[in-house]
Amino acid sequence: MAATIKDVARLAGVSASSVCRALAKPEQVRPETRERVERAASDLGYYPNRAARGLITGRTANIGVVLPDLANPFFPSVVKAIQTQARRFDYAVFLSDTDEDPALEVPLIRALAKQVDGFLLCSPRAGDEELRAFAGHTPIVVLNRRVTPFPSVTADSADGMRQAIGHLHALGHRRVAYVAGPRTSWSNRDRLRGLRSATSTYDMELIEAGNVAPTVDGGAAVADLVAASPVTAVIAYNDLVALGLLNRFRAREIAVPERISVVGFDDILLAGLVTPALTTVAIAKEQIGRTGVDLFLDLLKDDEGRKPVHKRTPTQLIVRASTGPAHL
């Protein structure tokens, strides 16, 4: 027979109401009482009922996660880290995918708001003003984007681009193309800013090849244009776009890296499995997910309206076979 709250109270030598407070609002009881209750609950194998706890705390112990495309291999790593970290604090995760449609994000947030304590928005595509409408009403942490006044976690894309351009410059490349991601993507704009700065620092010419869908097909669609341009290297918005470039170059028998070098961004699992293996800028995906949960839980405890925290995670260039000396 499963242990009850009365069993825990009896073993801990406290009232049932004290057990409720110790497990639901531990800051409201003395440390020694909390320790006795937690020890008794552990010994008895007692787990508080989520619904009952929600009535006491006014919270659901659920986090809503909204992302643009679960089929993109970048996001599962982030989501897995979110789930693992949330589980440590007895939170469940509700996941929703907008299929790269910015118009779906705000309705999804509104639809889920009563079922969760707040949201982690992964690379949201909606406009800043649309998201700001939730400020002060729904706790939100933004991943892979900065939107005032929400806490956020982003990758250091500027440093990643500096590493990539430094690598290409050392190989003799002086003209490089950039295949951009969605116009609504904050990450794309951030990466482009870093790339423009890096190419200027190294006195390299940057040719911007336009915006594409962040998919393999998006990369393939622009590969012929890149091949026809006077560049010896191309940097893609993400690894999926880079893989699309590689596929099309292979179909046209354009040798990589002998004719053109290719650099991706994200370091998804497939990047190291293709031929040639893809040189790419690795993002600390798991760290972004964990940090997002930590900022979210801190936000729930912030009763003083402190200044939102922004965290920036490191990036690292991973050199593989898709880059080589410039073809001059």
> 252 and 279 in contact (C-beta within 8 Å)?
no
> 207 and 196 in contact (C-beta within 8 Å)?
no
Is the pLDDT at 251 greater than 90? The verdict is yes
- What pLDDT, in 10s, does the model give residues 129-167? 999 999 988 999 999 999 999 999 999 999 999 999 999
> 82 and 120 in contact (C-beta within 8 Å)?
yes
- For domain 157-284, the CATH architecture is 3-Layer(aba) Sandwich (3.40)
Average pLDDT (226-236) is 97
> The domain 62-154+285-312: what is its CATH number?
3.40.50.2300
> 197 and 158 in contact (C-beta within 8 Å)?
yes
Is the pLDDT at 55 greater than 50? The verdict is no
Listed by start position, the domains of the chain span 5-57, 62-154+285-312, 157-284
- What pLDDT, in 10s, does the model give residues 184-216? 889 999 999 999 999 999 999 999 999 999 999
> 44 and 11 in contact (C-beta within 8 Å)?
yes
- What pLDDT, in 10s, does the model give residues 285-307? 999 999 999 999 999 887 566 77
Please state, in angstroms and rounded to a whole number, the distance separating the CA atoms of residues 241 and 280.
Answer: 12
> 139 and 118 in contact (C-beta within 8 Å)?
yes
Fold equal for 5-57 and 157-284: no
CATH topology of domain 5-57: 434 Repressor (Amino-terminal Domain) (1.10.260)
